[in-house]
Structure 1
């Protein structure tokens, strides 16, 4: 509770950035180990070695995904898929479902920033035509992307988790089911009650 409260609490209180919160978490972990657990130079050294191994695995996966994403973008796959979707001239509900399929597929092939850069400029005029609020769509887009990143067979986050765990990839995939269900419920709520995403922005007053 101390570790979670210190890291997450420091972010939401505005005291630190997420990157700085990582350092806060490291310091708190050492303090907790000293007072409530076991701590020694040997334990710290083993923890540092494990950290280097885990981070190395994750960075290698992210770098490989970046190269693959660059190749996909260079080949124009994202633009072609998006343009095909635009040319279908779907209803608003059909367009929403098609977007879900699009980002689920792209999430298995392209990292999140690449998806945003490739698709949003092409989709924005269509959003305006359908009368979709850009802020609401931004929230939906984040959910779409995160669902794509944990969707089998090659969602990048599946392999990141697999790299720091000793279990099978099938177990990792099975473990994503509750998160998919929660995100589906949240998507449904955001579609039925868009005020959930729009309430906070509506409270911000324009600065003269």
Structure 2
């Protein structure tokens, strides 16, 4: 297992580096507002976070005079939220669903929101619910044997799908069909958003 992880990490590092160099050299205006298909949300998020915590500083961003100072109450809310449900679980041990309310896990998912299109969250929720609740309850033997392998297969399928879409379609200036599964014309499924993941500002947004 260790050797597999080590070899996989080495291969992934080399492939990721070569892929990044290829993209930077061959895609015009990559990671810029001029290219709405290659917005590099994770890189931009990391850059913005570096500016906030390094150049600007947390005092100016989250201090008393800052417009974002109210966000600090999130620490207090996050610390208090699990307590009432823990008390309810102790008081009503026969209510089984209470043990599934785990606020640290639920709230930790919000850290992926800035770079993630909103369509990803329903997909994650549906797939996770189906495999880790429905199949676990009604097909436990299948779940024990194939859930981990199937999860890896879906990851590989997404990776190969992205490669095929890029090299076969986008690299040859062929547009992928626009439909609701790919976020529609705006790329994120939110045509009325003021600012969206794709960088396209729709004209029919609310004032």
Larger proportion of helix: 1
Do they fold alike, i.e. is TM over 0.5?
Answer: no
Higher RCO (C-alpha 8 Å, min separation 6)? 1
TMscore range, shorter length? 0.3 to 0.5
Task: Name the larger-Rg structure.
Answer: 2
TM (norm. structure 1) is: 0.37
